[in-house]
């Protein structure tokens, strides 16, 4: 998989270091707890707060809800950035009043901090007993999350400075993944068959990048186009 990432980096004139890429397995509940407090913009979480402090206040309501039960049926991953994780996460945890829930978060924090070591980023993946989920996690999901790390290390993250640009960020990662797998012509099909509005945006915005970079074969020019779009969105 790292060989595919290296080839992808070459196609877009990106820096690459095989040591950037690591991952850790966590439970589905732990992954949900991180997404919830890490301000994942998924609508299922947004109804419980648009800031970490609102979510901390409403976390007991979330954990006793049908929304939480629905989330437990999911599997997936995300990327943790060490700098923001160590800076923000402890202060958000302190806002949680329930001591048992707070303890759960501290345990998660300590586990991830230990695994991060000297790495600036780490991908976290949900454990699963289902073979179909395991296969997807070890291939599609991990590749997706490692592309996130690749763009982060190359300062191409669209949402670091402006969280509302998360759709462009996921769109770029999805575009890169489909580009690497030679499936850019399948993006519209993925939009049509994806019933969840939040994840549908990944493919809708991947199409924007496909159109932006259409007919551009030079890696430096591709990168320049992406950088210019990012700059325009941060104004």
- Please report whether residue 122 resides in a domain: yes
- Please report whether residue 65 resides in a domain: yes
- Please report whether residue 216 resides in a domain: no
d(CA 78, CA 112): 12
- Please report whether residue 185 resides in a domain: no
| Surface-to-core class of residue 95, CB atoms within 10 Å of its CB (0-12 exposed, 13-18 middle, 19+ buried) | middle
Average pLDDT, the chain: 94
Q: How many CB atoms lie within 10 A of CB 69?
A: 10
- Please report whether residue 5 resides in a domain: no
DSSP 161-186: S-GGGHHHHHHHHHHHHHHHTT-GGG
Strand partners, 126: 26
Domain that holds residue 121: 17-130
d(CA 90, CA 69): 26
Quick: pLDDT tens for 38-84: 889 999 999 999 999 999 999 999 999 999 999 999 999 999 999 98
Indicate the pTM of the whole model: 0.93
d(CA 80, CA 6): 21
Q: Is-contact 158 233, C-beta < 8 A?
A: yes
Q: What is the predicted pLDDT for the residue at 100? A: 96
Quick: pLDDT tens for 4-30: 999 999 999 999 999 999 999 999 999
**Residue 24 φ then ψ, to 5°:** -140, 145
Q: How many domains does the chain have?
A: 1
- Please report whether residue 32 resides in a domain: yes
Quick: pLDDT tens for 157-211: 998 767 789 999 999 999 999 999 999 999 999 999 988 888 899 999 999 999 9
Closest CA relative to residue 124, chosen from 106, 103, 108? 108
- Please report whether residue 113 resides in a domain: yes
d(CA 156, CA 25): 26
- Please report whether residue 186 resides in a domain: no
């Amino acid at each position: 998989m790292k060989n595919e990432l290296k080839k992808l980096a070459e196609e877009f004139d990106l820096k690459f270091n095989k040591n950037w890429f690591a991952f850790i397995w966590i439970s589905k509940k732990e992954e949900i707890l991180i997404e919830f407090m890490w301000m994942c913009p998924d609508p299922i979480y947004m109804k419980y707060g648009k800031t970490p402090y609102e979510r901390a206040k409403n976390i007991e309501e979330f954990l006793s809800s049908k929304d939480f039960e629905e989330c437990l049926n999911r599997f997936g991953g995300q990327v943790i950035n060490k700098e923001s994780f160590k800076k923000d996460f402890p202060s958000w945890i302190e806002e949680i009043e329930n001591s048992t829930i707070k303890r759960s978060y501290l345990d998660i924090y300590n586990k991830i901090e230990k695994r991060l070591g000297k790495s600036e980023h780490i991908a976290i993946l949900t454990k699963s007993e289902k073979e179909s989920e395991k296969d997807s996690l070890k291939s599609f999901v991990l590749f997706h999350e490692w592309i996130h790390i690749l763009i982060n290390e190359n300062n191409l993250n669209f949402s670091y400075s402006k969280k509302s640009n998360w759709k462009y960020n996921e769109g770029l990662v999805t575009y890169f993944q489909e580009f690497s797998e030679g499936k850019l012509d399948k993006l519209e099909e993925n939009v049509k068959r994806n019933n969840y509005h939040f994840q549908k945006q990944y493919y809708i915005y991947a199409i924007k990048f496909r159109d932006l970079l259409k007919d551009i074969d030079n890696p430096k020019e591709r990168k320049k186009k992406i950088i210019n779009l990012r700059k325009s969105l941060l104004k």
